[in-house]
Amino acid sequence: MPKRLSYTVILGVVLAACGTATPTLPPANVSVSEPTLPPAVISTSAAAPTPAPVATEAPTAVALALGPDSYTENINPLTGEQVEPVKLNRIPVAVKISNFPVSARPQWGLALADLVFEHLAEGGNTRFTALFLQNDVAKVGPIRSMRYIDAELPPMFGAVLVTSGSSLGTMQKIRSRPWFSGEGAWRLVSEDSASNCPPLCRETPNDINTLFTNTDSVRQVLATKTTQNLGRPEVKGLKFDPAPPQGNAGIAEVYIRFSGAAQVTWKYNPGTGRYDRWQESAPNADQVPHVEAATGAQLNAANVVLAQVNQVNNLVLEDTASGNLCGLEIQFWYRGPARVFRDGQMIEGSWLRDESTGWQLRLVDMAGNPLALKPGNTWFGLLTLNADLTVNGAQLSVLNKVPDTSFGC
Residue 100 lies in a domain: yes
Kindly state whether residue 260 falls inside one of the protein's structural domains: yes
216 part of a folded domain: yes
Average pLDDT, the chain: 85
Check whether the bond before 106 is cis (ω within 30° of 0): yes
Average pLDDT over residues 141-157: 96
Structural domain containing residue 140: 1-48+59-409
Please state the rounded mean pLDDT for residues 3-32. 39
| Rounded CA separation 384/306 (Å) | 10
Query: How far, CA to CA in Å, does 225 sit from each of 136, 191, 230?
Result: 21, 16, 11
pLDDT tens, position by position, 197-245: 889 999 998 899 999 999 999 999 888 877 666 777 789 999 999 999 9
pLDDT confidence band for 2 (50 / 70 / 90): low
| Cα end-to-end distance, the chain, whole Å | 43
- Establish if 28 belongs to a structural domain: yes
> In this structure, are residues 327 and 121 in contact, taking their beta carbons and an 8 Å threshold?
yes
397 belongs to a structural domain? yes
> 46-72 pLDDT, tens per residue?
333 333 334 445 676 665 668 999 999
Question: C-alpha distances in angstroms, 209 versus 295, 330, 367, 406, 409?
Answer: 19, 24, 44, 24, 25
CATH of residue 273's domain is 3.50.90.10
Tens-digit pLDDT profile for residues 83-128: 999 999 999 999 999 999 999 999 999 999 999 999 999 889 999 9
Supply the pTM of this predicted model. Answer: 0.86
Tell me, yes or no, whether 316 lies in a domain. yes
Q: Is residue 53 part of a domain?
A: no
CA distances from 75 to 66, 79, 219, 256, 384 (A): 9, 8, 21, 31, 32
pLDDT band at 185; cut points 50, 70, 90 = low
In a domain, 54, yes or no: no
Give the count of domains, the chain. 1
